[in-house]
Amino acid sequence: MKEKLKTNVEMICSVSELANLFHQGQDIRGFLSQVVHIVSRHMQSDVCSIFLYNEQKDLLVLEATAGLNPDMVGQLTLLSGEGLTGLTMKELRPIREGRGRDNPYFKYIPGSGEDRFESFLAVPIIRGIRRVGVLELQDEKSSRFSKADVLALKAIASQLASTLENAQLFMFLPEKNEPSIQITEGSRLIRGTQVVEGVALGQAYQMEGPGAEGNLISTCDDCYRETIEDFHRAIDSTERQLEELQIRLEEELADVASLIFSAHLLMLRDDGFSGSMANMISEGTRPSDAVEHVANNYITIFANSDNPRMREKVQDIKDLGHRILENLLEDEGEHGDYSGQIIITNELLPSELLKLTAQNIEGLVLYGGGVTAHVGVLARSLHVPLIFSEDESIFRIPSNTPLAMDANQGLLIVNPDNAARKRITQLIEGSDRIDELEAAARPETRTVDGERIYLRATVNLLSDLKLAKRLMAEGIGLYRSEFPFLIRSDFPSEEEQYLIYKQVVDGLENSLVTLRTLDVGGDKILSYIPDTKEANPFLGLRAIRFLLENKKVFVGQLKAMIHAGGNKQIRILFPLISSLDDFLNARKIVLKSLSFLKRDGLGQFPMPKLGAMIELPSAVEMAPELAKEADFLSLGTNDLVQYMLGVDRTNEKVADLFDIRHPAVLRAVKRVNDAAKEADCPLSVCGIMSKDPRTVYYMMGLGVREFSMEPGKIPGMQNAVSRMDIQQARKDAEILSGLGTQEEIRNYLDKLKLPEPTI
Ligand code: PEP
Ligand code: MG
Return the ligand 1 atom nearest residue 482 CA: 9
Instruction: Using most ligand atoms within 8 A of CB, pick from 460, 613, 658, 709 the residue to mutate for ligand 1.
Output: 613
Q: Which residues pair with 196 in a beta bridge?
A: 386
Return the ligand 1 atom nearest residue 543 CA: 10
243-295: per-residue pLDDT in tens?
888 888 888 888 877 677 877 888 887 888 899 999 999 999 999 999 999 99
Q: Identify which ligand lies nearest to the alpha carbon of 707.
A: 1
Angstrom CA distances, 517 to 267, 479, 572, 591, 699, stand at 35, 9, 7, 15, 26
Query: What number of other Cβ atoms are within 10 A of residue 598's Cβ?
Result: 12
How confident is the model over 299-311, as a mean pLDDT? 77
- Rounded Cα distance, 433 and 757, in Å: 14
pLDDT, position 224: 64
636 alpha carbon – ligand 1 mean position (Å): 5
Across the chain, what does the average pLDDT equal?
87
Instruction: Using most ligand atoms within 8 A of CB, pick from 378, 482, 519 the residue to mutate for ligand 1.
Output: 519
639 alpha carbon – ligand 1 mean position (Å): 6
679 alpha carbon – ligand 2 mean position (Å): 23
519 alpha carbon – ligand 1 mean position (Å): 9
Return the ligand 1 atom nearest residue 686 CA: 5
- Rounded Cα distance, 326 and 235, in Å: 11
Length of the chain: 759
Q: Identify which ligand lies nearest to the alpha carbon of 686.
A: 1
Q: Identify which ligand lies nearest to the alpha carbon of 708.
A: 1
590-620: per-residue pLDDT in tens?
999 999 999 999 999 999 999 999 999 999 9
Phi-psi region of 604 (alpha: psi -120 to 50; beta: other; left: phi over 0): beta
pLDDT, position 177: 39
Q: Is the pTM of this model over 0.75?
A: no
Q: Is the pLDDT of residue 203 over 80?
A: yes
Of 360 and 129, the one with more pLDDT? 360
Q: Which residues pair with 60 in a beta bridge?
A: 53, 78
Identify the H or E element spanning 125: strand 119-127
Nearest protein Cα to ligand 1, atom 9: 480
Return the ligand 1 atom nearest residue 639 CA: 2
Share of the chain above pLDDT 90, in %: 52
How confident is the model over 451-458, as a mean pLDDT? 98
Return the ligand 1 atom nearest residue 638 CA: 3
457 alpha carbon – ligand 1 mean position (Å): 13
Phi-psi region of 282 (alpha: psi -120 to 50; beta: other; left: phi over 0): alpha
For the packed helices 742-752 and 726-736, what is the interaxial angle rounded to 10 degrees? 160
479-490: per-residue pLDDT in tens?
999 999 987 777
Q: Identify which ligand lies nearest to the alpha carbon of 665.
A: 1
Q: How far is CA 239 from the centre of its chain?
A: 35
Angstrom CA distances, 420 to 132, 342, 361, 396, 570, stand at 22, 16, 20, 21, 49
- Rounded Cα distance, 260 and 484, in Å: 11
Q: Identify which ligand lies nearest to the alpha carbon of 640.
A: 1
541 alpha carbon – ligand 2 mean position (Å): 14
**Could you give the angle at the alpha carbon of 730 between the alpha carbons of 724 and 734, nearest 5°?**
135
Cβ atoms of 705 and 732 within 8 Å: the answer is: no
The least confident of 124-128, 361-365, 405-409, 705-709 is: 124-128
User: Which residues, in sequence order, are CB contacts of 154 under 8 Å at separation 6+?
Assistant: 94, 123
Q: Identify which ligand lies nearest to the alpha carbon of 577.
A: 2
pLDDT, position 210: 39
Return the ligand 1 atom nearest residue 478 CA: 5
- Rounded Cα distance, 564 and 503, in Å: 8
Q: Is the pLDDT of residue 232 over 90?
A: yes
Nearest protein Cα to ligand 1, atom 5: 687
Of 273 and 667, the one with more pLDDT? 667
- Rounded Cα distance, 318 and 345, in Å: 14
How confident is the model over 575-603, as a mean pLDDT? 97
- Rounded Cα distance, 365 and 202, in Å: 12
Q: Which residues pair with 709 in a beta bridge?
A: 457
Residues with CB under 6 A from ligand 1: 478, 480, 519, 615, 636-639, 686-687
680 alpha carbon – ligand 1 mean position (Å): 24
Return the ligand 1 atom nearest residue 615 CA: 2
Q: Identify which ligand lies nearest to the alpha carbon of 575.
A: 2
Q: Write the DSSP symbol of residue 224.
A: G
pLDDT, position 332: 56
329 alpha carbon – ligand 1 mean position (Å): 47
Return the ligand 1 atom nearest residue 637 CA: 3
User: Which residues, in sequence order, are CB contacts of 196 under 8 Å at separation 6+?
Assistant: 376, 379, 380, 383, 384, 385, 386, 407
Q: Is the pLDDT of residue 585 over 80?
A: yes
708 alpha carbon – ligand 2 mean position (Å): 13
The least confident of 97-101, 224-228, 274-278, 623-627 is: 224-228
pLDDT, position 141: 93
Q: Identify which ligand lies nearest to the alpha carbon of 479.
A: 1
Phi-psi region of 81 (alpha: psi -120 to 50; beta: other; left: phi over 0): left
How confident is the model over 495-516, as a mean pLDDT? 94
Q: Domains plus CATH for the chain? A: 8-171 (3.30.450.40), 189-429 (3.50.30.10), 434-752 (3.20.20.60)
Q: Grade residue 217 by pLDDT with cuts at 50, 70 and 90.
A: low
Cβ atoms of 551 and 610 within 8 Å: the answer is: no
How confident is the model over 198-217, as a mean pLDDT? 72
Nearest protein Cα to ligand 1, atom 4: 636
374 alpha carbon – ligand 1 mean position (Å): 10
Query: What number of other Cβ atoms are within 10 A of residue 662's Cβ?
Result: 18
Instruction: Using most ligand atoms within 8 A of CB, pick from 620, 643, 686 the residue to mutate for ligand 1.
Output: 686
Q: Identify which ligand lies nearest to the alpha carbon of 688.
A: 1
pLDDT, position 185: 47
308 alpha carbon – ligand 1 mean position (Å): 27
**Could you give the angle at the alpha carbon of 36 between the alpha carbons of 31 and 38, nearest 5°?**
95
The least confident of 22-26, 332-336, 669-673 is: 22-26
How confident is the model over 657-679, as a mean pLDDT? 97
Instruction: Using most ligand atoms within 8 A of CB, pick from 458, 480, 545, 635 the residue to mutate for ligand 1.
Output: 480
How confident is the model over 647-669, as a mean pLDDT? 92
| DSSP conformation letters of 169-187 | HHHT-S-TTSPPPPP-TT-
689 alpha carbon – ligand 1 mean position (Å): 11
Nearest protein Cα to ligand 1, atom 1: 636
Q: Is the pLDDT of residue 83 over 80?
A: yes
Of 178 and 595, the one with more pLDDT? 595
423-450: per-residue pLDDT in tens?
888 877 776 678 889 999 999 999 999 9
Instruction: Using most ligand atoms within 8 A of CB, pick from 578, 638, 647, 649 the residue to mutate for ligand 1.
Output: 638
Return the ligand 1 atom nearest residue 640 CA: 2
Rounded to the nearest 5 percent, the helix, strand and coil shares of the chain are 50, 15, 35
Nearest protein Cα to ligand 1, atom 7: 638
Of 226 and 575, the one with more pLDDT? 575
Q: Is the pLDDT of residue 211 over 50?
A: no
371 alpha carbon – ligand 1 mean position (Å): 15
pLDDT, position 214: 56
Strands 188-191 and 341-345, bridge-based pairing: unpaired
- Amino acid, single-letter form, for residue 693: P
Strands 47-54 and 609-614, bridge-based pairing: unpaired
Nearest protein Cα to ligand 1, atom 8: 638
Nearest protein Cα to ligand 1, atom 6: 636
517 alpha carbon – ligand 1 mean position (Å): 12
